[in-house]
Amino acid sequence: MTSITDFDVPFDGHMLKADHYTGTASNRILYLHGAGNSTRHGHHLLRSALQQRGLGSVCFDAIGHGETGGALAQSSVASRTRQAQAVLAASALSKPLVVFGSSMGAYNAIRLTEQHKVDALVLIVPGVYTPSAYEVPFGPDFSAVIRKERSWDDSDAWDILSRFEGRLLVIHAEHDAVIPLEISDRLFGAATRAQSRQLHIVQGAEHNRLWSLLAETPADFDATIDMIVNMVK
């Protein structure tokens, strides 16, 4: 019997809506969703599969998303990192942490390794950002910064990952029109001190159609889940 517990976390005048998919074997995973229309519920397929294998996870709707609501302009990439820290402080996750980050959430996951002991890091269709965009509120000014050609080139993500000593898994969608393969390659290449590192490219997948595509072929879906479980357990 699967168990999902909802909880609220006050943050900067907002109430972050979060949930905990309780695991029977471990509860160490913090899962961070992406930008756009992303919500914690959009990652049910993967989190449910992990829960069925005993691995619990906590995820929340960032400000401007899902049930948390609010305006995106009231948030930023930096605020999302701080929101994640608030949820961590309010959750019952065990240590050392395992952090999953999808799209924009991958950059927040990388930043969290600077403040927390992270045993394993799973970066899914990962986006990274120039430091000059970090504190800029979401909106036209933020978009202007990140839409510059190769704005991510000087990201501090490479340097942060060069100091990461846990296990790293980067999952890239073969036909990702948002995140170039070069970013995933560089993230993998930067993690020279990682205990282990792997770059997995999901054939035929797109930025917003990775797990649902895999689910159409249960054997491929199960194999990918098993790869993740073996890396993070």
Q: Is 135 exposed, middle or buried (0-12, 13-18, 19+ CB in 10 A)?
A: exposed
Rounded Cα gap, residues 226 and 117, in angstroms: 24
Q: Which of 58, 67, 57, 56 is nearest to 16 (CA)?
A: 67
- DSSP letter at 137 equals P
State pTM to two decimals. Answer: 0.97
Q: Domain ranges in the chain?
A: 4-232
What homologous superfamily does CATH list for 4-232?
Alpha/Beta hydrolase fold, catalytic domain (3.40.50.1820)
Q: How far is CA 63 from CA 108, 133, 208, in A?
A: 14, 17, 20
Q: Token match 């913090």: residue? A: 30
pLDDT confidence of residue 230: 95
What's the average pLDDT block by block, 10 residues per block, for the chain (233 residues)? 90 97 97 96 96 97 97 97 98 95 98 97 98 98 96 98 98 97 98 98 97 96 97 89
For residue 70, give both structure tokens: 């609010």
Question: What pLDDT does 92 receive?
Answer: 87
pLDDT of residue 1: 54
